Amino acid sequence: MAQKVAKVGIKREKGYLYFIDKQGDVSCAKMSRGNKKGGSPKKVAKVGVKKQSGYLYFIDKQGDVSSAKMVRGGKKKKSAAKKKKK
C-alpha cells in the first residue's frame, strides 16, 4: 500500500516521463519515440524528499509524491557452506 510523502499537485503533460531525481525533487524528461531521442531532464518542482532504502518513490495520479515498500521476490541464493560440500 502506498502512502503520500509530499503534496505537490503536478499537472502531467503527454509524452513526458516524470520521476524523483537524486536530490529528491520532481523532474521530467521527454520520452524517446522511434528514431527520436529523448530530452534531457528538467526540474518541475523542488520537493527535497529524503529517500529511504527499500522504498519505491513515484508520482501518483493526483500529482503528489508517494512511496511504497519494494517487494523483493525471486529465488533465494544457496549458502556458501552448501556449495563447498558439493
Specify the number of domains making up the chain: 1
Tell me the average pLDDT across 19-27. 94
In a domain, residue 80? The reply is no
pLDDT > 70? residue 82: no
Share of the chain above pLDDT 70, in %: 92
In a domain, residue 37? The reply is yes
67 forms beta bridges with: 3, 57
In a domain, residue 86? The reply is no
In a domain, residue 21? The reply is yes
Q: What residue numbers bound the domain in which 24 lies?
A: 3-71
Tell me the average pLDDT across 59-80. 86
Contact in structure between 67 and 56 (CB atoms under 8 Å)? yes
In this predicted structure, what is the pLDDT of residue 72?
A: 83
